[in-house]
Amino acid sequence: MQGTDYLGSDRFSALGGKPVLVVEAASWHRPASPIQAVVIGIDREGDLPTVSDQEFDVLLTTFKAAPKPWVSLDPTQFDDTVQRLTGSVDANPIAATIGAQVLRLSSGLTLSDAITVESFAYSALLGGGEFSNWMAASKHSKLSAVPTDPVVVHRETDKITLKLNDHENRNEMSATMRDALYEALANILDDPSKPDVTLEGAGKCFSTGGSLPEFGTARDLAEAHVARSLHSCAIALDALGERATVMLHGACVGSGIEIAAAAHHRIAAPAAWFQLPELSMGLIPGAGGTATVARAIGRHRTMWMLLSGKRISAAQALDWGLVHAIKGKP
């Protein structure tokens, strides 16, 4: 690849005009110079070549039901899909680049440290131009009334059920709900009887993720990082280990899957679906998704979810390991 000495490598970045590279997976080797471009490796023939997955951020193939870290695509839609992915990077190159960097950095860290790295990056992007552009172009509704009990706690002997209880707002993860969920999880972690915990959502879906009217309301982004990492629901849920189960149904979007993915037992209803839409807002996941989802399905497939913004069905989630079982009637 030409122009990959140290000075020339600046071209392959969000600021240099080439924020994404599409390369043949079988023959690509990352240069020694520090390129920042998102690297998408492709296998159009479906040969599944032996590759070093460290060379790539996403790996695409036409091989049906390809193993991790590959993402299998319909051959008739392959080129169009690649074009959509590159378009997603071009639309928000800084957020896409930072997303890839965070996923790479986090792969060797503990869950807690990985979520801290994500939070640093998320706060930086909240102060960035891409998020600002999204805010300016978006129509924001007023903050909705939050129930007095946004998380309902029910206990029977040694079993506790936590229910997200804002079904009128599709259990959107408002600050009030997140605080209530963290408090409930923290109390359970402090409980010497060590009860089992099931987390579920009321209404038609588990959660549609962060409350859109609250986006952009933080004025002190450094303080927001401290608060976000101090009261991480994902870290608390992970700390429960084998005692924690989440029951997922309907939409599980953004933080609605990022937090849930930290649970050691994840069960989906047949019609459940999963999505990471943050890149279209000039952001990356901010509730732990670059750590929790990546640990479940790998960083390459997580980057695919981030770049594509595509809904993942319960069946695909099961195949990839995002959930452990599908139960219930279709």
Q: What is the pLDDT along the chain (330 residues), one digit of tens a residue?
A: 555 677 778 899 999 999 999 999 999 988 888 899 999 999 999 999 999 999 999 999 999 999 999 999 999 999 999 999 999 999 999 999 999 999 999 998 999 999 999 999 999 999 999 999 999 998 776 667 778 899 999 999 999 999 999 999 999 999 999 999 999 999 999 999 999 999 999 999 999 999 988 888 888 999 999 999 899 999 999 999 999 999 999 999 999 999 999 999 999 999 999 999 999 999 999 999 999 999 999 999 999 999 999 999 999 999 999 999 999 877
* Per-residue DSSP letter, 81: H
User: What's the distance, CA 163 to chain centroid?
Assistant: 22
Please state whether beta strands 159-164 and 151-156 pair in parallel, antiparallel, or not at all (unpaired): antiparallel
Query: What domains can be seen in the chain, in order of their start residue?
Result: 8-91 (no CATH), 110-326 (3.90.226.10)
Q: CA of 122: how far to CAs of 11, 21, 105, 108, in Å?
A: 25, 24, 14, 19
Comparing CA positions, the residue from 157, 149, 236 lying closest to residue 190 is: 236
SS3 325: strand
